[in-house]
Structure 1
């Protein structure tokens, strides 16, 4: 989260090349401190902030490629910029490595960066634009826990920030360690309900059996 003027709250998530993400964050911080022509304190909307972020990211990637001089070096990074500015609705933007961005919609009710393939099916099935923030939070935690279970390179702590519209408050920040009591209860409950749901599914329909083609 950025320390901005009182009419806005801006949160940034990063994934990709660490050197690029650190350079981007440092540039955003310097621009804000020096009151640059464009900075997070004077952009008029989150869309404008996302465009500014994309421009900074592309410039930093170009610098790293030039200095590295290695064709195999990958400086790409992606970001999720979220929050609220003034009287505009709260929103979120995913900024690609190329500098362009998308926002959430009815067809894309959530945005993801980084490692996503393990936990994404849970989000795809449950998250809608009208999902309550508290239900969405639990869904995201289950998604992260599933990712941790399937991918050894992902682990605790799991950080979560809940921003409630028009609150201009970042007070609901959570950090769950692997042995956190709530995460353990959430994990056990999810596994139990999932097993019960699988057991309750319709049994295989023998009428669907077909002869298998043998090629060898």
Structure 2
């Protein structure tokens, strides 16, 4: 399984994804689900995917090749982000069809994928989209400034409580890590390492990228601090009428 979250705030975009695929008791693999496309001075994009790995790899390869060969259309030469999202959506549909043909004879193989796609094109504000297997896309909004794909339910409450367009970019990134940590704690199919990327408004590049694994001091500190503060918050909640005052 997979969990990816994208966040849009006034200062820019945050992307975070786990890396576990084909999780089972005896088959745990790590694959990158967060992919960066940068074109200095023109645009920067991040793509995250949940679903069929072959479809995703084909899509990422095609996006890179189209831009390198300056095919029309391509990510490098886009002028509007919604057009870029539509282009990615069409390539997703094509990639699913190709993967389906490749899997011919393998009954029950689902070649679909769902994407979070975001970035910034020169002259525009950053934006964030969810792209469905049919190629259609929806954008994040000020009312719900985040998008999730994969195993989303465990990491959703913290996003609803904390995030708003005014949230600082680094605070949004910490919130994303807590959201991933909550999911990892409750679901064995989502696991470390976590890939994190930040795009600050106006920079047209992915300014910060991190991979947080089991040996990451930063991840351990966030995990331990969040657990401790939750325990303290519960302990500070109002007492029931029947509880003793000296507890």
- TM score, norm. by length of structure 1: 0.89
Partner of 1:55: 90
Distance 2:111 2:140 in 1: 26
Shift of 1:205: 6.2
Partner of 1:185: 221
**Backbone CA RMSD of aligned residues:** 1.7
Shift of 1:204: 4.1
Deviates more, 1:64-73 or 1:158-167: 64-73
Contact kept, 8 Å, 2:113 with 2:132, in 1: the verdict is yes
Deviates more, 1:37-46 or 1:4-13: 4-13
Q: 2:172 aligns with which of 127, 136, 140?
A: 136
Contact kept, 8 Å, 1:5 with 1:41, in 2: the verdict is no
- Structure with bigger helix share is 1
- TM score, norm. by length of structure 2: 0.78
Bigger relative contact order (CA 8 A; separation at least 6)? 2
Shift of 1:147: 1.2
Q: 1:45-66, CA deviations, whole angstroms, 9 ceiling, x for partnerless residues?
A: 1110100000011112122223
Q: Alignment partner of 2:130: what SS?
A: strand
Partner of 1:32: 67
* Alignment gaps of 5+ in structure 2: 1-35, 243-247
Q: 2:146 aligns with which of 96, 102, 110?
A: 110
Shift of 1:127: 1.1
- Structure with bigger strand share is 2
Distance 1:132 1:171 in 2: 15
Instruction: Find the structure with the greater CA-based Rg.
Output: 1
